Amino acid sequence: MLPAEVLFGYGWKYSPETQFAYHPHMNTNTDINKTALEQELAQHIVTALNLDIGPKEIDPLAPLYGDDGLGIDSIDVLEISLVLTKHYGVQLRSDDENNAAIFASLRNLAEHIQQNRTK
């Protein structure tokens, strides 16, 4: 086994929740760890952004925004927000100071929708 310094130097991350190391771009089936809402959201994200990965490959704890995870940007957030408004009635504004926390991970996004959905 490689030492942690070597693994983490090549982009590997440690998840305290699962106590496993993972690489953000690793092809894994994470559906067993997703709630039903997280699975739906992953499908909406893949469809809205026309991603080259399947919804099963989106880790619910990995970052959505930025280079460390899925790599979505502010334009992608806008597209996702439109879909979420249509399907769940959640209003996400571009000037909301909580957007970074809301889009930090699929799990955070699901929690926000669960708390604020009208549909």
pLDDT of residue 73: 86
The topology under which CATH files domain 28-116 is: 1.10.1200
CA distance 80 to 22: 25
Is the separation of the CB atoms in 118 and 90 below 8 Å? yes
CA-nearest of 108, 34, 36 to 77 is 108
pLDDT of residue 10: 47
**Domain residue limits, the chain:** 28-116
Which of these, 115, 109, 119, 112, lies nearest to 43 by C-alpha position? 109
Q: What is the pLDDT of residue 18?
A: 53
Q: What is the pTM of this model?
A: 0.71
Residues with pLDDT less than 50, the chain: 1-10, 23, 25-29
According to the model, what pLDDT value does residue 46 have?
94
